[in-house]
């Protein structure tokens, strides 16, 4: 690979959170080579400006320093070098972000996404890449290993052995930055699904029962592979989990996922049943795995290719994140890992979450998708009043579409067929999904009369703000939807910061808003009695809707007093139940939807 771009990375000073990186270009641009670092990472739609963390950048060729000009916040141009001579950039990257989106390094482990550490070589992003991942020096790191789905450079001198430091390869820059890398001492486990090896790696302190997890996760992966059709589109898959005391997050990649999970959510040896936390973790794994098809290969046209310097706008995240959010929990019940009642419990929570957001009346999921960069990913105290989640409402749109397809075709057609059609049309051909591509797929799939009608309905709900008629749509499946208040305590319509008396959000048109209370106010007393963190409900539970209370609060350093009229608690808590004596047609539809146990 003579024209390959060669990268080198190693933990330089773990205690200072610094990686050392080099990038060598064999045939630099004769007019002067331009380099840049991405401003965002695919899957997380926010400008993050990773170049903030680059330092000591310099260029050299044949042992001599080459002048570097900075063109903008993340682009540099090296001066011309003599023809036939390679150009090398040397730099360090500060890595102290324990999330799935950036890079992290200390004496316990290292983690990085290529978007945080590897400069792109302008004009040569299609060239193959060779990456030497080197180990840190020093005794504490002597037993470190490497986990990544980046292919090992087998056949090259210095090729890495399995889980080893050494040489890895990527076909191009796009692949290079789509395989996060973990290094340290970690727990390993493995299973097989669809004939493909799946590895799991856990960093951080934990007591995970990896056998139980492998047994459950293999069923979920197998079900998803069969949904789209075996074999799966990757020949190896890696779940990388960073375990912390309290955390949650995931980012999808073509053959792996980086996850952040709470220790309490992992299964433990001797665990009984299916605790809520474990369902949360399995749902996260299932979500990121579903992205292997939906968004990593079936992609919006706006992402083919990605432009990593600026925002890439699409109105389709409701399909890529929403449909994925629908299938993440659905895969748990369809694969038999959770019961239908467990599933209906999870679905009820999703519906409740959407109903609790007044923002759903102001923003459609198409708008929410387009504005993800400035709104969904940059939420503030007023976000619940102004935005709708394209994840949660997108999942409900997927549900509503699935239920209609099933009930109107007596179970012959479902959202599964839509996903398979999208896979054939877009995923397998490498074509990007046009902004109306989901509508046309639904139209084509469901036949002469139903298809166009459902496509029109879908466009309307995606571009509108109406609530979905789920009570009616669930009826033919023998599932009842009951809407109730979560408690009987009257409310003033605020959300407090966890464990504190500071107002995080004042909901629109609430009694608190009408009385003039605002986000950031610190509540001191109710009717002259001191309020403690978490104690508001206890102080209101003896009151009635319509009662007035006197609220003392600090706004900045000024003490203020508010007269607030209590309101009835809102009926926004959804409970779904299976009718035990549903007609045979309903039982049949329900089994098609939720599996044989339903
Ligand atoms: Zn997602």
Could you give the CA distance from residue 526 to residue 538 in angstroms, rounded to a whole number?
11
Encode pLDDT of 340-389 as tens digits.
999 999 999 999 999 999 999 999 999 999 999 999 999 999 999 999 99
Residues having C-beta closer than 5 Å to ion ligand 1: 321
149 band by pLDDT with thresholds 50, 70 and 90: very high
Model confidence at 142: pLDDT above 90: no
Residues 37-57 have a mean pLDDT of 98
Task: Please give the distance, rounded to the nearest whole angstrom, from the Cα atom of residue 397 to the centre of ligand 1.
Answer: 16
Residues 530-547 have a mean pLDDT of 92
CA distances from 402 to 224, 293, 425 (A): 16, 18, 19
pLDDT at 499: 85
Burial environment of residue 339 by CB neighbours within 10 A (0 to 12, 13 to 18, 19 or more): middle
pTM of the entire structure? Answer: 0.97
Burial environment of residue 470 by CB neighbours within 10 A (0 to 12, 13 to 18, 19 or more): buried
CA–chain centroid gap for 13, Å, is: 30
pLDDT at 1: 63
259 band by pLDDT with thresholds 50, 70 and 90: very high
Task: Please give the distance, rounded to the nearest whole angstrom, from the Cα atom of residue 137 to the centre of ligand 1.
Answer: 37
Task: Please give the distance, rounded to the nearest whole angstrom, from the Cα atom of residue 322 to the centre of ligand 1.
Answer: 8
Task: Please give the distance, rounded to the nearest whole angstrom, from the Cα atom of residue 559 to the centre of ligand 1.
Answer: 44
Model confidence at 407: pLDDT above 70: yes
Encode pLDDT of 467-505 as tens digits.
999 999 999 999 999 999 999 999 999 999 988 999 999
Task: Please give the distance, rounded to the nearest whole angstrom, from the Cα atom of residue 129 to the centre of ligand 1.
Answer: 28
Tokens describing residue 186: 């970690």
Task: Please give the distance, rounded to the nearest whole angstrom, from the Cα atom of residue 49 to the centre of ligand 1.
Answer: 21
Could you give the CA distance from residue 42 to residue 321 in angstroms, rounded to a whole number?
13
Task: Please give the distance, rounded to the nearest whole angstrom, from the Cα atom of residue 252 to the centre of ligand 1.
Answer: 7
Strand order across the beta sheet in which 34-36 lies: 68-72, 75-78, 34-36, 120-121
Number of residues that make up the chain:
598
Task: Please give the distance, rounded to the nearest whole angstrom, from the Cα atom of residue 328 to the centre of ligand 1.
Answer: 9
Task: Please give the distance, rounded to the nearest whole angstrom, from the Cα atom of residue 388 to the centre of ligand 1.
Answer: 16
Percent of the chain scored above 70 by pLDDT? 100
Task: Please give the distance, rounded to the nearest whole angstrom, from the Cα atom of residue 288 to the centre of ligand 1.
Answer: 6
Tokens describing residue 442: 């639904």
Encode pLDDT of 90-119 as tens digits.
999 999 999 999 999 999 999 999 999 999
Residues 169-187 have a mean pLDDT of 98
Model confidence at 446: pLDDT above 80: no
Task: Please give the distance, rounded to the nearest whole angstrom, from the Cα atom of residue 257 to the centre of ligand 1.
Answer: 11
Task: Please give the distance, rounded to the nearest whole angstrom, from the Cα atom of residue 284 to the centre of ligand 1.
Answer: 9
């Amino acid at each position: 690979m003579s024209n390959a771009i060669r990268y080198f990375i190693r933990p330089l000073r773990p205690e200072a959170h610094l990686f050392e990186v080099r990038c060598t270009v064999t045939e630099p641009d004769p007019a002067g080579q331009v380099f840049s670092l991405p401003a965002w990472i695919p899957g997380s739609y926010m400008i993050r400006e990773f170049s903030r963390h680059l330092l000591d950048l310099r260029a050299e060729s044949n042992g001599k320093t080459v002048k570097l000009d900075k063109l903008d916040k993340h682009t540099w141009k090296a001066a011309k070098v003599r023809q036939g001579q390679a150009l090398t950039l040397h730099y360090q990257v500060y890595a102290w972000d324990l999330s799935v989106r950036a890079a992290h390094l200390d004496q316990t482990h290292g983690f990085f996404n290529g978007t945080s550490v590897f400069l792109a070589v302008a004009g040569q992003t299609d060239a193959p890449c060779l990456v030497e991942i080197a180990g840190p020096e020093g005794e504490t790191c002597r037993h470190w290993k490497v986990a990544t789905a980046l292919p090992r450079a087998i056949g090259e001198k210095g090729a890495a052995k399995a889980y080893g430091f050494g040489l890895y390869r990527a076909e191009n820059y796009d692949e290079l930055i789509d395989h996060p890398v973990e290094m340290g001492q970690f727990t390993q486990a493995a299973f097989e699904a669809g004939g493909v090896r799946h590895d799991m790696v856990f960093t951080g302190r934990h007591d995970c029962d990896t056998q139980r997890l492998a047994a459950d996760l293999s069923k979920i992966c197998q079900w998803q592979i069969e949904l789209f059709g075996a074999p799966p589109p990757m020949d190896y898959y890696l779940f990388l989990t960073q375990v912390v005391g309290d955390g949650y997050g995931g980012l999808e990649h073509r053959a792996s996922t980086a996850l952040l999970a709470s220790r309490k959510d992992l299964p433990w040896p001797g665990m009984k049943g299916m605790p809520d936390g474990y369902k949360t973790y399995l749902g996260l794994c299932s979500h990121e795995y579903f992205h292997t098809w939906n968004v990593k290969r079936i992609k919006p046209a706006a992402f083919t290719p990605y432009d990593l310097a600026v925002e890439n706008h699409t109105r389709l995240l409701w399909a890529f994140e929403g449909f994925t959010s629908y299938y993440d929990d659905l895969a748990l019940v369809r694969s038999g890992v959770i019961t239908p009642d467990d599933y209906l419990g999870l679905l009820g929570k999703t519906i409740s979450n959407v109903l609790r957001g007044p923002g759903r009346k102001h923003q459609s999921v198409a708008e929410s998708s387009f504005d993800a960069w400035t709104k969904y990913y940059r939420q503030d105290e007023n976000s619940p009043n102004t935005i709708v989640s394209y994840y949660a409402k997108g999942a409900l749109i997927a549900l509503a579409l699935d239920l209609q397809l099933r009930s109107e075709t007596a179970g012959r057609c479902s959202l599964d067929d839509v996903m398979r059609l999208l896979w054939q049309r877009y995923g397998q051909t490498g074509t990007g999904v046009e902004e109306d591509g989901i509508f046309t797929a639904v139209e084509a799939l469901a036949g002469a009369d139903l298809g166009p009608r459902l496509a029109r309905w879908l466009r309307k709900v995606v571009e509108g703000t109406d609530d979905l008629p789920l009570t009616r749509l669930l009826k033919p499946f023998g599932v009842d939807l009951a809407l109730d208040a979560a408690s009987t305590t009257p409310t003033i319509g605020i959300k407090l910061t966890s464990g504190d008396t500071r107002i995080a959000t004042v909901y629109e048109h609430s009694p608190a808003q009408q009385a003039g209370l605002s986000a950031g106010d610190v509540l001191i007393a109710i009717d002259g009695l001191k309020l403690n963190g978490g104690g508001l409900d206890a102080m209101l539970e003896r009151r009635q809707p319509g009662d007035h209370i006197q609220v003392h609060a600090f706004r900045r350093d000024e003490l203020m007093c508010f007269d607030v009229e209590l309101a009835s608690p809102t009926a926004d808590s959804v409970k779904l139940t299976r009718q035990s004596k549903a007609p045979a047609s309903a039982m049949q539809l329900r089994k098609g939807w939720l599996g044989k146990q339903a």
